[in-house]
Chains A and B, each alone.
Chain A
Amino acid sequence: MLAFIIRRLLGLVVVLFTITVVVFLLFFATPGVDPSARLAGRNPSPETVAAVKHEFGLDRSLPVRYGLMMKRLFISRDLVSYGNQALEVVPAILAAAPVTFSLVFGAAVLWVIVSIAMGIMAVTFKGTFVDPLLMILALIGISMPVFWLGEVLNLITQDRLHDTFFFRWVPPLGYVPFTQDPWQWFLHLIIPWITLSILYIGFYARVLRANMLDIQNEDYVRTAKAKGLAPQQVLVRHVLRNSMITFASLFGLDLGVLIGGGALLTEVVFNLPGVGRLTYNALTALDLPVIMATVIYGAFFISILSALVDILYARLDPRIRPT
């Protein structure tokens, strides 16, 4: 197990290194992005531009520049944005992370509960109209672009039906920290949670249903049924429990992607100042220091959670050894 962890960590370092180098090279290969003119203001003299270049180390060779940026990011931790020099990158990410965590964990709770309920209902009522109805709903859920769904929900809850009884409670877009006002935090996040989770509800319900149907045909389930266990007990104790292996591993991977900035579209549409929106703003402004930091942050979570999933998988299913 220790060897496995070390190997995964080494792999993580290699992946992070390669990604950052690629990002760095792509950035400086783009004409017009040299930040020195931007840093110097509107109409600077050539001397001022040269001074700024020197100040930010932009007149050094590429490997040195890369080294300097990594040093300021990890060691002195005082890397600042090209856009606003009072904006330190590391605190900016630390400030954005709680927003993303709030959004993703809330949505995750929602999608786990609803998709399990839908999966169980579909299996229980297989052969009636309920099963295909639920599965069509699930399919529609995975067919909607998340940003479009967000826009449509905004249109309804912020504007068209905002003054009706149903949506009068919906606060304006944005985020309120939990520490400041837990109730407002909750209200502000309800619509974003729903938007983000619909896709995953549809997907997980379908996976769970297929998995449970498969497992129902396994020998040990038939045995349990033959032993006279109540159908509900069989369903929950054997079928659902065994289906959870796949469910949990998929869940881990998705969580990694979303925490790592994959909820970008939802954050942009609902104006939530999380890591995804930070990434998006940095990308549109081609703000390399922030891009670097968010890329590293994202790849870190994606890789860590996929390693955790492998370990979990190995624990739950003894046939698999982590590789």
Chain B
Amino acid sequence: MAEFAYEPEPEVRLAPGESVKEISGRSPWRIAGRRLARDRIAMGGLILFLVIVVISFLAPVYSSHIANTDPFVSNISGTTVVDGKKVDVVQQGGGGLGLGETPIGPTWHSNYFLGADNQGRDVAARVLYGGRASLLIGVGSALICCLLALAFALLAGFFRGWFDTIVSRVMDLIWAFPVYLLAITIATVLLTTPGGVKLWFIHIQATSLWIPTLIIALIYVPYVYRPVRGQVLSTREKEYVEASISQGASSLRLMFSEILPNVVSTVIVMFPLMIATTVLTEAALSFLSIGVQPPKASWGTIIQDGQGLLYTRPWVAIAPGIMIVLTVLSLNILGDGVRDALDPRAKVRVRE
């Protein structure tokens, strides 16, 4: 569901308001760095993203020192203190019939700041822990995806011939394969195979975060692969590369010295936007309960938990959603900044 259309223009251009003096004699990377640092909006995005990362990784501190609960153990019969009064975390439903059980709502105090879910677990602490999982999966899968796409594009674009044909056909297939189906079948196979799945020396358990990470990385490979491969092909046609080949340069050396630096900027521009995409995808898969498996939590699984409490305890679903929006927004802003910095006129688009 993401689409990139990238028309790389490798020469360094002037950004608006930039003088020739400022960029002459500097490496393209330094120029880009300077531009990015000056872009206040992009820096705002970066800072917002870093703040979210930091508070998510402080989740253990929050749950053990502020909320004083373990957000992964159900606390249905537990009690907490609100305004000096001892109350049940999960309370019996009201009314004439007393049906149902309702978790405590937001207390806006350190304990149960955002209330509890239907297991009596602290939602605020869970949202922070969920952020860790969501960010790990988002960044991890974007990284794996970009590296895989880069590797395949370099090989395919460089060797061409049958290798290129096979890789490109496989990419077409992944493109047309329904994402949810892939995720649900792989998740089911892993869940039901006793003892998890062993691949060479890697041992994957069903509850491992590697599963959603790898699935998401895999499904987005074609989206990065296509533009990068195109660029590898066009770079290879460039005179200076042809010249190196005629001088007898080895393929490996060429790949690392001539082609790689040229395409890497494309991948870097895509990277923050890819994280934005993968974070959203992780949330969608977990919402359909085929991503992160309980007792582990991610923002998507917490929204799913909150779906059943939507009308009585809406904060369970709203809070993780706000975190997702802020994260993806910050990454999109940062991505725009990186794109402008690396090439003020390059046309990159990413969407989910």
Is A33's beta carbon under 8 Å from chain B? Answer: yes
Q: Are A147 and B284 in contact (CB under 8 A)?
A: yes
Q: Are A148 and B317 in contact (CB under 8 A)?
A: yes
Q: Are A302 and B176 in contact (CB under 8 A)?
A: yes
Q: Are A29 and B178 in contact (CB under 8 A)?
A: no
Is A308's beta carbon under 8 Å from chain B? Answer: no
- Among B165-180, those with CB < 8 Å from A are 172-173, 176-178, 180
Q: Are A140 and B325 in contact (CB under 8 A)?
A: yes
Q: Are A155 and B311 in contact (CB under 8 A)?
A: yes
Is B243's beta carbon under 8 Å from chain A? Answer: no
Of B280, B303, B329, B352, the residue contacting A140 (CB under 8 A) is B329
Q: Are A23 and B181 in contact (CB under 8 A)?
A: yes
Q: Are A283 and B328 in contact (CB under 8 A)?
A: no
Q: Are A143 and B178 in contact (CB under 8 A)?
A: no
Q: Are B185 and A26 in contact (CB under 8 A)?
A: yes
B230 contact set on A, CB distance < 8 A: none
- Among A1-33, those with CB < 8 Å from B are 11, 15, 18-19, 22-23, 26-27, 29-33
Closest Cβ–Cβ distance, residue B348 to chain A (whole Å):
9
Name which of B1, B178, B194 has the most chain A CB atoms within 10 A of its CB. B178
Q: Are B1 and A145 in contact (CB under 8 A)?
A: no
Q: Are A19 and B188 in contact (CB under 8 A)?
A: no
- Cα(A295)–Cα(B310), bound, Å: 32
Closest Cβ–Cβ distance, residue B294 to chain A (whole Å):
16
Residue-wise interface mask of B (184-226) relative to A, using a CB-CB cutoff of 8 A (1 in contact, 0 not):
1110110011100000000000000000000000000000000
Which of A47-55, A74-82, A93-101, A256-264 lies on the face that meets chain B? Answer: A256-264
Is A157's beta carbon under 8 Å from chain B? Answer: no
Chain A binding surface SS class: helix
- Cα(A110)–Cα(B169), bound, Å: 35
A27 contact set on B, CB distance < 8 A: 185
Q: Are B332 and A143 in contact (CB under 8 A)?
A: yes
Of A22, A144, A279, A302, the residue contacting B325 (CB under 8 A) is A144
Is B283's beta carbon under 8 Å from chain A? Answer: yes
Closest Cβ–Cβ distance, residue B13 to chain A (whole Å):
12
- Cα(A286)–Cα(B347), bound, Å: 42
Q: Are A280 and B180 in contact (CB under 8 A)?
A: yes
Closest Cβ–Cβ distance, residue A4 to chain B (whole Å):
16
Chain B binding surface SS class: helix
Is B79's beta carbon under 8 Å from chain A? Answer: no
- Cα(A139)–Cα(B333), bound, Å: 8
Name which of A142, A264, A298 has the most chain B CB atoms within 10 A of its CB. A142
Is B287's beta carbon under 8 Å from chain A? Answer: yes
Is B51's beta carbon under 8 Å from chain A? Answer: no
- Cα(A112)–Cα(B318), bound, Å: 29
Is A131's beta carbon under 8 Å from chain B? Answer: no
Closest Cβ–Cβ distance, residue B223 to chain A (whole Å):
12
Is A218's beta carbon under 8 Å from chain B? Answer: no
- Among A140-177, those with CB < 8 Å from B are 140, 142-148, 151-152, 154-155, 158-160
Q: Are B287 and A147 in contact (CB under 8 A)?
A: yes
Q: Are A15 and B173 in contact (CB under 8 A)?
A: yes
A15 contact set on B, CB distance < 8 A: 172-173, 176
Closest Cβ–Cβ distance, residue B94 to chain A (whole Å):
17
- Cα(A261)–Cα(B5), bound, Å: 24
In the complex, which range does the number of interface residues on chain A fall in? Answer: 35 or more
- Cα(A250)–Cα(B303), bound, Å: 30
Q: Are A210 and B349 in contact (CB under 8 A)?
A: yes
Q: Are A262 and B317 in contact (CB under 8 A)?
A: no
Is B40's beta carbon under 8 Å from chain A? Answer: no
Is A291's beta carbon under 8 Å from chain B? Answer: yes
Q: Are B283 and A145 in contact (CB under 8 A)?
A: yes
- Cα(A322)–Cα(B311), bound, Å: 52
Is A253's beta carbon under 8 Å from chain B? Answer: yes
- Among A281-314, those with CB < 8 Å from B are 283-284, 286, 291, 295, 298-299, 302-303
Q: Are A280 and B288 in contact (CB under 8 A)?
A: yes
Is B119's beta carbon under 8 Å from chain A? Answer: no
Is A214's beta carbon under 8 Å from chain B? Answer: yes
B189, closest chain A residue (CB): A30
Q: A18-B173, A30-B185, A203-B351 are in contact. Are A139 and B284 (CB under 8 A)?
A: no
Residue-wise interface mask of A (79-113) relative to B, using a CB-CB cutoff of 8 A (1 in contact, 0 not):
00000000000000000000000000000000000
Is A221's beta carbon under 8 Å from chain B? Answer: no
Q: Are A143 and B329 in contact (CB under 8 A)?
A: yes
Of A32, A143, A303, the residue contacting B276 (CB under 8 A) is A143
B262 contact set on A, CB distance < 8 A: none
Q: A31-B193, A159-B311, A295-B181 are in contact. Are A206 and B349 (CB under 8 A)?
A: yes
Of A18, A32, A250, the residue contacting B192 (CB under 8 A) is A32
Q: Are A283 and B351 in contact (CB under 8 A)?
A: no
Is B106's beta carbon under 8 Å from chain A? Answer: no
- Cα(A34)–Cα(B252), bound, Å: 49
Q: List 14 A-B contacts (CB under 8 A).
A: A19-B173, A23-B181, A27-B185, A31-B192, A31-B193, A140-B325, A145-B287, A145-B321, A203-B351, A210-B347, A214-B345, A279-B178, A295-B178, A299-B176
Using a CB–CB cutoff of 8 Å, the interface residues on chain B facing chain A are 1, 3, 5, 172-173, 176-178, 180-181, 184-186, 188-189, 192-194, 276, 280, 283-284, 287-288, 300, 303, 306-307, 310-311, 314, 317-318, 321, 324-325, 328-329, 332-333, 345, 347, 349, 351-352
Using a CB–CB cutoff of 8 Å, the interface residues on chain A facing chain B are 11, 15, 18-19, 22-23, 26-27, 29-33, 139-140, 142-148, 151-152, 154-155, 158-160, 199, 203, 206-207, 210-211, 214, 246, 250, 253, 257, 261-262, 264-265, 268, 279-280, 283-284, 286, 291, 295, 298-299, 302-303
Nearest 3 A-B pairs (CB), nearest first?
Answer: A148-B321, A143-B328, A143-B329
